[in-house]
Copies of this chain bind each other. A is one copy, B any other.
Amino acid sequence: MKAIILFGHGARDIRWREPFDRLVTLWRDQYVDVPVEVAFLEMMQPSLEEAVSSLADSGATQITVMPVFFGQGGHLRNDFPVLLNVCRKKFPQIALSATPAVGEDKTVLQAIIDFGARAL
């Protein structure tokens, strides 16, 4: 069974996670057969490992991790691959893959441009 993890940075202010909760709701409304979890690099729970564990318990066998980051800086180039490898060793029965950061996607960037244009 396929599943997806929306992986964000995390922040001290709990309200920072609101868009992540909205993404989960949108996902569940549209892809009911593909379980979704959020996970955070720091300052928020669950961790990537906890999210993988939760999805594995639900029967997931292929998990795609989508970094909900704009830029691919040190966190995604250095920290994230280490976390992914820890999960791969801990859950060898799971096929774990990752997408580029969502900020690499042209349609996401265009949606941001459109939002700015509407706000002028």
Contacts and interface: CB of A to CB of B under 8 A. Distances in A.
Nearest to A115: B105
A2 to B, nearest CB: 6
A96 to B, nearest CB: 13
Contacts of A15: 71-73, 77
Of A34, A71, A114, which is in contact with the most chain B CB atoms at under 10 Å from its CB? A71
A84 interface: no
A9 B54 CA distance: 31
Interface stretch (A20-28, A45-53, A86-94): A20-28
Contact of A113 (B8, B26, B114): B26
26 contacts: A4-B120, A11-B73, A11-B75, A12-B73, A13-B71, A13-B72, A13-B74, A15-B72, A15-B73, A16-B72, A20-B70, A22-B109, A23-B109, A23-B112, A31-B117, A64-B119, A64-B120, A66-B115, A99-B119, A102-B112, A105-B115, A107-B114, A108-B108, A108-B111, A110-B111, A111-B111
